[in-house]
Structure 1
Amino acid sequence: MIDRPVRIALQLQPQHLDYKAIRRTAAEAEDLGVDVIFNWDHFYPLSGDPVGLHFECWTMLGAWAEATARVEIGALVTCNSYRNPELLADMARTVDHISDGRLILGIGSGWFEKDYQEYGYEFGTAGGRLDDLAAALPRIESRLGKLNPPPTRKIPVLIGGGGERKTLRLVARHADIWHGFGDPDTVARKVEILHRHCAEVGRDPAEIELSTGVRGNPAELGGRLRELGVSLFTVGVGGPDPDLGPLRSWLAWRDAENGRTGG
């Protein structure tokens, strides 16, 4: 396994905030030294007032590409159901250029039924949405290879989700980053299954960066996840009063951990 340095991401959830507050929080996070800033791809808040303030994902990423200078940016994660795969590839290539090569293309199969109902997408079944994602990923890869100009780099693909039979197999085939969820025991089981899928498709699992969402004390949780190979740790924050205190704690832990290991 490649000994990757620890990286810290902020998922700036675009709910219950006006855009000025979103922009201000993203700028503060970049000034603090965060490595990645993610948003999410929903049309309504996931908590609090279900029809509260909310903004769209990819137009926001285009704005972040101009408003930030150093951090990588992306969606955690894009819902595959909402955009034609070729269009999504072109959008990703465009934001990649605007940002001078700082986009991560995060993608998943989708799950929030309210988004589908309100915006007229067919919700279907979880298995059907995963099958759609499996069909879309090669189309995205193909379109990225045809665009003129091409992306500035091989845009990293992040696949989010923990489904052991379908999702992790897609990660093994297509992803540069896997984003999972759960406590260390859960992550350990998923990583073991991911390694089996990698062996089946002939992929070196060391090529895939391991990412997870985190809460709580990094001194208690960070080391356990690090031992499993996790190197990208994402702290979530939303409105109406975004608190970057936990992010600061994880950034301090990152700096100590990377200093200790020479990362």
Structure 2
Amino acid sequence: KMYALHQFMLIHVLTCLGQNGNEIINGEKAPENSLLYMASVQNNYGHSCGGFLVSEDFVVTAAHCDEGNPRRIVLGTHDLSKPADTVKDVIMKCIHPYYIGVGNGNDIMLLKLSSEVQPSKSIQIIKLPSSEIKLKENERCLVAGWGLTKIGGPLVHQLMSRVVDVSVISPEVCRENWPGLLDGLICAGGYGTNKGFCQGDSGGPLICNGTAVGVVSFNKWGRCDYPDAPNVYVDIAKHLDWINEILKKKHC
């Protein structure tokens, strides 16, 4: 079992290494007045990961996005090719204390903004679960992000959203496809369909019934046009105490 777990971890580390920003495969362009909580996590070279605003001064993203050296957050725009009204520096990175790699269920990080943002017609805070939630198999959810729309394709500057085609996959089916999968993860999309996320949407939210329930973490070997294994997300509900403590203290 330990060998299988190590092999499992290696697969996912390889899946995420060297990636820059995540792609939505077969998505639709998001309307301008939608998904106002989405954040572009950027380094000195531009967009590197997705994220989402959970309070006036914190954005949630994936812990493995720290490898991209995030420096600023862009909010309030779907088109990254245009000048952004709201750009905040990252002044604190709160990586989950038990994060050791993308496959261990703790691939989550909070980024503190240099100053608070106020909700407006272009920026909104998305709600988090108030407690553990039981997602139903085949429940329809949404995932969104910036980046490529197919392997080797050009960068897309507009936010691409998946609304109806990302379905929750049961833990039993997910473990059949991901031997050694640990608790604290959600599977949705990328299996039995050619729709889901690809390398680059890392850190973006999985949204079910208007609530951010997951964080984009990994898929299999970056095979995004015709994936053969479920896309995997961190289960936010498993980390509520940790998240809420940071939001309360405004410090890691």
TM range (shorter): under 0.3
TM-score (norm 2): 0.25
Structure with bigger gyration radius: 1
